[in-house]
Structure 1
Amino acid sequence: MKTGVLKWVWCLGLAVGLPSCSGVEEQEVVSPDRHLVVGMTELDKGEYGDVSFAVYYNGERALPLVRLGMETNRQKYAGNLKFKSVSEAKPITDDYRMLTGKRSHCVNHGTERVYSFENEDGNILDVTIRAYDDGVAFKYGVKSVAPEEFVVDEHTAYDVPQGVKRWMQQYTLGYEGFYPLSTNGRLEGQPDANLWGYPGLVELRDSVFMLMTEANIRRGHGGSFLCNADSADLYRVRLFDKQQPMGETWESPWRVLIIGTLSDVVESTLVTDVSDPSTVEDTSWIKSGSASWIYWAYNHGTRDYQLLKEYFDLAAEMKWPYSLIDWEWDQMGNGGNLEDAVKYAHERGVKPLLWYNSSTNWLGPTPLYRLNKPEDRAKEFEWLNKLGVFGIKVDFFLGDSISSMDYYIDLLEDAAKYNLMVNFHGATIPRGWQRTYPNLMSVEAVYGAEWYNNNGVLTNQAAAHNATLPFTRNVVGPMDYTPGTFSDSQHPHITTYAHELALPVIFESALQHMPDRPSVYYGLPEQVKQFLSVLPTAWDDTKLLAGYPGTEVVMARRKGDVWYIAGINGTDEPRVIGVPLENLGLEKSCKVTWFKDGSDGKSFVTEESVSLPENGKVVQVTCLPRGGFVAVVK
């Protein structure tokens, strides 16, 4: 039979323009702007049963079903739950400052309710649900019933019907793959391949999108990913570790669903909104900026002291604050060692960054085993302070296990004690740590320009891939793609120079590694070099002006009173891209500098004007196949 209080048949009332249900209190969660409503489904399996909710967007059902539940080695909280209570609606306001990222002042508003359910053993599962103006976040809470109890499974699952467009990456430990467009969520005949990494983008209905991810991984948490091997329509959350210790009480990470238009998704800060506040009091030493980087052009290089000096000279010439000394620096020769290199960098006014192997996965490149133990980290970080190194890049991690997540946090916390910025490579995606640990400047977790070194796959796919990343991977946090490769490395690129110039604006990373050869940057037109010299890498505001995954993207980012606008064509055909400027608050009279595709794709057309167009301030820019443009508006 149905229990009266669980007869939650979408009693959404005024929130979605439906009549209230007789005899049932309003128990949905409604976003402050009333665009999003979360409602529990009715329980139709007797006194105990499954628990799920659906999401309505602008009065229409958007996400059909989210199934809830978890289990431990002692208790099951799925399929056997009975409603106990729901809290009053509680307003949530997130208001905080960020040193890096898409927005310096982040403000979001939400509404929270806590639903409590009892299993057949009389134990309680709490489900906290928040409806924000730009999405839904929820988490589980449970008290342990035994000292040796641990979490073994989660029953969260997202119902995404076949035929719905989706851009999802197959799960790999390094999150280095493509996000191909598909309307079929299943890889038939490949059950082991039906594992999907965060974030996953879905177009729930025309122009209504949802990005699935997770946030606020704390010490003792493992990461998760999605699996639909059992049902093509149902993406179930699967824990990386099947034994997650609980302690006396346990809270899951937040499961995050960013929902709305593409601009709502791209501009959202929901991942950091639900993450813990900063743990670093003095942040004056944390400075974003561009860095020269030797590895890309030579597929090694750091062992050669004379060659490395050229990259310090490049950073000095381009006025980039940093230069990254990559792997095998402990084997440096040809006239100098690491100490000599750091000294030379300081003489040129450049701050060196230093690469480390995490020594947890691929153990080839040195140095090894310098950061794994707390006492070794302290010794190494103290040495780096004395040497004059400003940050570390730690590479080759081993998945999303609890031990890996704890190691990430160890590195961030200990590095902060020694005023060291951190860049993770061969690593997991950002999950909100950039707020909690503001010395986290960037994370790879992307199929980036480094892959021009490894095989020829990126050559033909780069343009569409680059036009997909702003809607997927880069939404959740900084992305060390290493953009701005004008020449070729081991394998060619066929994107235009203007396309490449646009990428450091379109892709957000507080440390923006510029990987091409010094001679290439020196050979760029003077105005282009000036643009790269002053380009910010952390932003006061970010807006998506136009675009669709894999086709095109136009992004506007503001620093102070200057807007940097960049667009790319993700297709193999010429394309006219409209650039709407009406929402940027620009004056009619302002200085605009354009960098557009030259006729051969290997040059630039530079134009300057002192006014914006009429007709709604929409500028039409013609791009070559795989082309792009940049505009600087003051």
Structure 2
Amino acid sequence: MNNLMIMKYFTIIALLCLSCISCTMQNNLLQSPNGKIAIEYHAEKGFSVIYHSGRDKVKMMSLPEIGLKTSDTDDCFKLISSTPVTSVVDDYEMLTGKRRHCHNEANECTYRFENVKGLRVDLIFRVYNDGIAFRYHLPKTKEEIVVLDEYTAFAFTPGIKRWTQKFTVGYEGFYWPNTDGVADNEGREWSFPTLFQPSDSAFVLLTEANILRDNTGAYLTNAADSSIYKIKLSDERLICPSGWYSPWRVAIIGTLADIVESTLVTDVSEPCKIQDTQWIKPGLVSWIYWAYNHGSKDYQIVKKYIDFAADFDLPYMLIDWEWDAMGNGGNLNDAMNYCKEKNVTPLIWYNSSTAWCDPTPLYRLNTPEVRDKEFEWLKEIGIQGVKIDFFGGDSIGTMNYYIDLLEDAARHKLLVNFHGAAIPRGWQRTYPNLMSVEAVYGAEWYNNKPTLTDNAAWHNCTLPFTRNVIGPMDYTPCTFTNSQHPHITTDAHELALLVIFESALQHLADRPEGYRQQPVEVQNFIRYLPVAWEDTRLLSGYPAESVVIARKSKDSWYISGLNGTENTKSFRVNLEFIKDSIQLIQLFSDTTDGKQIKIENSAFDTKELNIECQPRGGFVVWVKLRK
């Protein structure tokens, strides 16, 4: 019997035995705590994921195959037992992200399979109020097991709308809306996360989370069937010790608000491993590269960005690639001294030295000994964080390297930003010194190709429902001037991106004069803008069309909206969700030509705002609360 047949039998056995499991699973049902999401079993159809929307019962997807292909598959696996359904409650606090306090509650059941050799595989299912998650576990083995493939697949109704990004190791592409499952990608390999719309009001976002050491990343393929998305491991051979856990396979489920506001990726991830976190401070960053590709080689340009950070009270300034070749009147030591003089905290760039790209400095982080020496030196000269760039994919070796970097940086109290990297998978909870990750087709691409110019508006309205759902996103927003290729989004649209996109290090991409030429009200908005949030809410929107997001920090709500279309659009923003007393409402919106920002103040008792946006426009509402 070949491996594929065995795993299909593995799946069939699981299905046939479900009716015999714990009596707490009434009618073969594992439900979320609020009863809105359920995993159902039907004798003929297998596993289905159900969402209750009001009185409607919507089948979101099915799981046609679940299983592992291992090197030890001489015999069939049989379901030997299942645990009673248990409640998992694990609330936690975040230093960064969508909200500070995260309520983490699910119902869990484990199915235990065994073959005649005694090899046991556990399948752990959880159902949350905003989705499902499951993973595999090898609880006890006498020797290492080699996993050769994973059969997990997600089946959707043919023809439904989906937003998919072609898989590349840098995760830098557009989430093209499509219904055929092809979207001009003949290879049919897709990056996480991927968004599906099984019904008018219900959505599914697929991703993965909690990759531990010696695990590989994964992506999706629907090459065999355009409506069935199968897990594909980045490594073809995964050596698993006794006690091994796979990453969680995660499906966030519900309305678009449920998707955007979800913390499911961090909910299933390991708790914080850093005991002292007082030194971890989110903030805005002045950034050279967008306007001056090789600017960090020029001490005078570096000083210009340090001055900008000081003038705007930005906590950080990033010295980007090629700083080891800095000249024109000064070097890195001079730049460090100037930062101290201006009370600006410097961050610094490194090449991961694992991929094809060769900007310097190189090979300073690749071994524990070299890395420890480098990090110790950085702390001595006053560096507070590192931006590490150009990683080579999602392999086991790269995943281990990410973890090594995060752990060693934490020991030296260094913040971390992974650029040219894989998507965040919950490490921002485990290692809260992980402040941001690129893995996005961001404003940097105005430097490289003309493609972003015509696509930025709808793309920016898609990212809040896809990539930014799963973790911090180093898009480098808010460009009022132009780089190599122009932006045709309005200035208010660009300002709104600072709130729409979540990143604990939010890099201001534009040249300093781009911000200095703005009205003082806009400058002050940037000056006082937080980047970590107590609460996040989606007020309205639809992928590629529009989005309105509200975020709270201390005594302010920040409400931003984007128009992703080529037409004018009216937004009605209801403020009744704000229960605190309002002191002042300040509105930043489009002028007629979109090249300036209109500023208005509204009465504190305003309950609703009607805002007109230009094509590719945007707005920000700054609601200041009474203290």
* 1:122 positional shift: 5.3
Q: Specify the code of the residue in structure 1 equivalent to 2:585.
A: V
* 1:522 positional shift: 1.0
Instruction: Classify the secondary structure of the residue corresponding to 1:207.
Output: coil
Q: Decide which of 569, 572, 584 is 1:591's aligned counterpart.
A: 584
Write the distance in 2 (CA, Å) between the matches of 1:168 and 1:144: 38
Write the distance in 2 (CA, Å) between the matches of 1:450 and 1:520: 16
Q: Decide which of 87, 104, 123 is 1:108's aligned counterpart.
A: 104
Cα distance per residue 1:470-522 (max 9 Å; x no partner): 00000000000000101100000000000000001000000000011111111
Write the distance in 1 (CA, Å) between the matches of 2:183 and 2:258: 30
> Aligned residue for 1:310?
304
> Aligned residue for 1:38?
39
Instruction: Classify the secondary structure of the residue corresponding to 1:412.
Output: helix
> Aligned residue for 1:171?
167
Deviates more, 1:160-169 or 1:421-430: 160-169
Q: Specify the code of the residue in structure 1 equivalent to 2:40.
A: G
Write the distance in 2 (CA, Å) between the matches of 1:179 and 1:285: 36
Write the distance in 1 (CA, Å) between the matches of 2:614 and 2:44: 56
Write the distance in 2 (CA, Å) between the matches of 1:100 and 1:3: 43
Q: Tell whether 2:319 aligns with 1:328.
A: no
Label 1:256 to 1:277 Cα distance change in 2 as closer, same or farther (>3 A): same
> Aligned residue for 1:554?
548
Write the distance in 2 (CA, Å) between the matches of 1:442 and 1:187: 29
Q: Decide which of 51, 55, 73 is 2:50's aligned counterpart.
A: 55
> Aligned residue for 1:610?
603
Write the distance in 2 (CA, Å) between the matches of 1:300 and 1:184: 42
Q: Tell me the TM-score normalised to structure 1 length.
A: 0.93
* 1:586 positional shift: 4.2
Native 8 Å contact 2:15 2:41 kept in 1: no
Alignment of 1:419-458 (within 5 A): 419-458=413-452
Q: Decide which of 243, 252, 272 is 1:249's aligned counterpart.
A: 243
Q: Tell whether 2:229 aligns with 1:231.
A: no
* 1:145 positional shift: 4.9
Cα distance per residue 1:578-617 (max 9 Å; x no partner): 2232223244x5310000101211111111122344xxx4
Write the distance in 1 (CA, Å) between the matches of 2:562 and 2:58: 33
Alignment of 1:544-583 (within 5 A): 544-583=538-577
Q: Tell whether 2:99 aligns with 1:89.
A: no
> Aligned residue for 1:368?
362
* 1:71 positional shift: 1.5
Alignment of 1:179-328 (within 5 A): 179-186=175-182, 191=186, 193-328=187-322
Write the distance in 1 (CA, Å) between the matches of 2:580 and 2:566: 33
Label 1:216 to 1:381 Cα distance change in 2 as closer, same or farther (>3 A): same
Cα distance per residue 1:259-290 (max 9 Å; x no partner): 00000010000100110011111111110000
* 1:298 positional shift: 1.6
Write the distance in 2 (CA, Å) between the matches of 1:534 and 1:545: 23
Cα distance per residue 1:444-485 (max 9 Å; x no partner): 000000000000000000000000000000000000000010
Instruction: Classify the secondary structure of the residue corresponding to 1:140.
Output: strand
Label 1:11 to 1:280 Cα distance change in 2 as closer, same or farther (>3 A): closer
Label 1:43 to 1:115 Cα distance change in 2 as closer, same or farther (>3 A): farther
Write the distance in 1 (CA, Å) between the matches of 2:611 and 2:26: 54
Q: Decide which of 609, 614, 620 is 1:624's aligned counterpart.
A: 614
Write the distance in 2 (CA, Å) between the matches of 1:63 and 1:543: 23
> Aligned residue for 2:66?
68
Aligned Cα root-mean-square deviation (Å): 2.2
Write the distance in 1 (CA, Å) between the matches of 2:565 and 2:584: 30
Deviates more, 1:502-511 or 1:110-119: 110-119
* 1:172 positional shift: 0.4
Native 8 Å contact 1:509 1:537 kept in 2: yes
Q: Specify the code of the residue in structure 2 equivalent to 1:454.
A: N
Percent of aligned pairs sharing the same letter = 52
Native 8 Å contact 2:39 2:47 kept in 1: no
Deviates more, 1:35-44 or 1:600-609: 35-44
Q: Specify the code of the residue in structure 1 equivalent to 2:195.
A: L
> Aligned residue for 1:17?
none
Write the distance in 1 (CA, Å) between the matches of 2:332 and 2:513: 24
Q: Tell whether 2:53 aligns with 1:28.
A: no
Q: Specify the code of the residue in structure 1 equivalent to 2:41.
A: M
Cα distance per residue 1:17-43 (max 9 Å; x no partner): xxx9xxx95542111111011123437
Write the distance in 1 (CA, Å) between the matches of 2:14 and 2:536: 47
* 1:431 positional shift: 0.3
* 1:88 positional shift: 1.0
Structure 1 unaligned blocks of 5 or more: 14-19, 45-50
Q: Specify the code of the residue in structure 2 equivalent to 1:622.
A: E
* 1:60 positional shift: 1.8
* 1:9 positional shift: 7.6
Q: Specify the code of the residue in structure 2 equivalent to 1:96.
A: Y
Label 1:178 to 1:35 Cα distance change in 2 as closer, same or farther (>3 A): same
Q: Tell whether 2:150 aligns with 1:157.
A: no
List structure 1 segments (4+ residues) > 4 angstroms apart after TM superposition.
Answer: 1-5, 7-13, 24-27, 119-122, 143-146
